[in-house]
Amino acid sequence: MSDYSDKFQPIVDLTRTIYGEGFIPLHRPVFDGNEKQYLIDCIDSNFVSSVGARVTEFEQRMAAFTGAKYAVATVNGTAALHVGLMLAGVERGDEVLSQALTFIATCNALTYAGAHAVFVDVDRETLGMSPDALRSFLVAHVTRKNGHAFNKQTGRRIAACVPMHTFGLPCRIEAIAALCDEYGIALVEDAAESLGSYVGSRHTGTFGKLATLSFNGNKVITTGGGGMIITDDEDLAKRAKHMTTTAKIPHPYEFVHDMTAYNYRMPNLNAALGCAQMEALPRFLEIKADVARRYGEFFDAEGVTFMRSPAGTTSNYWLNAIVLDSLAERDAFLEYTNAQGVMTRPIWRLMTRLEMYKDCQHDGLENSRWLEDRVVNLPSSVPGGAMGA
């Protein structure tokens, strides 16, 4: 570690210039608006669970912000993706194309739906699914019958494709969408990390059949725990609400349910937080963009690769990331910074290196493996008080 200390200490100093002294978390929530008042209003109204005006308001605010026609709030992002995959037509025994460089919730959700994961590689520039790798996989391994795609190796139907906008950096979603259309594969965007990210003027999550968002405590905005399904399809939105509210048929007093469904509806208390956070979201995004600018200027001068929003896109910079030279340097960096009270972390371990998904089909994952050894996240919260010089 001593070999790297001269290189790493200036990074620690920079984070302290931005965030101050003491322990610096990776990403903390900020509640400096109407959060407390809206929670009190909920308590006073007695509507604190899955029925309440704030749930509807939060959904409407989210639809308006993203440009989607409909939004359905859920208890968390994993639940949103689980239901979203079922709404997209994924059935037990199907396959879903995704990326191995992702948070485990992506794979867990498709497993809940009874599907098998198949992994294709990512782009080094975006950390998200590579349309080039996707096309290569489709050409080599997929045959089309009756408007559906089938894996020639397994014989299973490939029902959906789930790319992720990693750390808020938009992937090459337009090219991915075109391939999915060509092969008859439903596109479900995992936009859990990309609220406030755009391709041109179009918000991430609006390119496929539907998309899902997350509002966990470490996201750009938080509801404590929560997620959202967004879509332009009215029928899918209605079915999403039905499936996430135990499939109860509306009636003044009878309890009639028409399918096995889920109790995934977001509580009103969480939605109250979300409404207040939405009021602050534009300001949060401006501040996070400035933090990313400061990181970028510093790392440019140091000759270290800072992950910037790809050309033609706007990132929310949920988690800022750098690419180090080797696994050894990465491990030394993590040890040094965390020992100094500056929380940093590596990118996720590849899904194919986890026991549950080690036998999943993949394309070699060359870029994913390279990035796994080198990418680390830096503190990325909205700073409190002055930003510094």
Mean pLDDT computed over 192-214: 98
Give per-residue pLDDT as tens, 123-153: 999 999 999 999 999 999 999 999 999 999 9
Measured between alpha carbons, how far is 314 from 204 in angstroms, rounded to an integer? 10
Residue 127 per-residue DSSP state: S
Q: How many CB atoms lie within 10 A of CB 322?
A: 22
Position 386 scores a pLDDT of 35
Measured between alpha carbons, how far is 320 from 322 in angstroms, rounded to an integer? 7
Residues annotated as catalytic are: 219
Helix (H, G, I), strand (E, B) or coil at 47: coil
Strand runs labelled E in the chain:
70-74, 95-99, 116-120, 142-145, 148-151, 157-161, 186-190, 198-199, 202-203, 210-214, 227-231, 305-306, 313-314, 321-323, 345-346, 375-377
Whether residue 2 is predicted with pLDDT greater than 90 in this model: the reply is no
Give per-residue pLDDT as tens, 32-91: 999 999 999 999 998 888 788 999 999 999 999 999 999 999 999 999 999 999 999 999
Give per-residue pLDDT as tens, 330-346: 999 999 999 999 999 99
C-alpha dihedral, 296 to 174 to 196 to 112, nearest 10°: -110
Whether residue 389 is predicted with pLDDT greater than 70 in this model: the reply is no
Whether residue 388 is predicted with pLDDT greater than 70 in this model: the reply is no
Among left, alpha and beta (phi > 0; psi -120 to 50; other), residue 20 is left
Give per-residue pLDDT as tens, 158-178: 999 999 999 999 999 999 999
Q: Whole-model pTM above 0.75?
A: yes
Domains and CATH numbers, the chain: 5-28+281-377 (3.90.1150.10), 35-277 (3.40.640.10)
Whether residue 109 is predicted with pLDDT greater than 70 in this model: the reply is yes
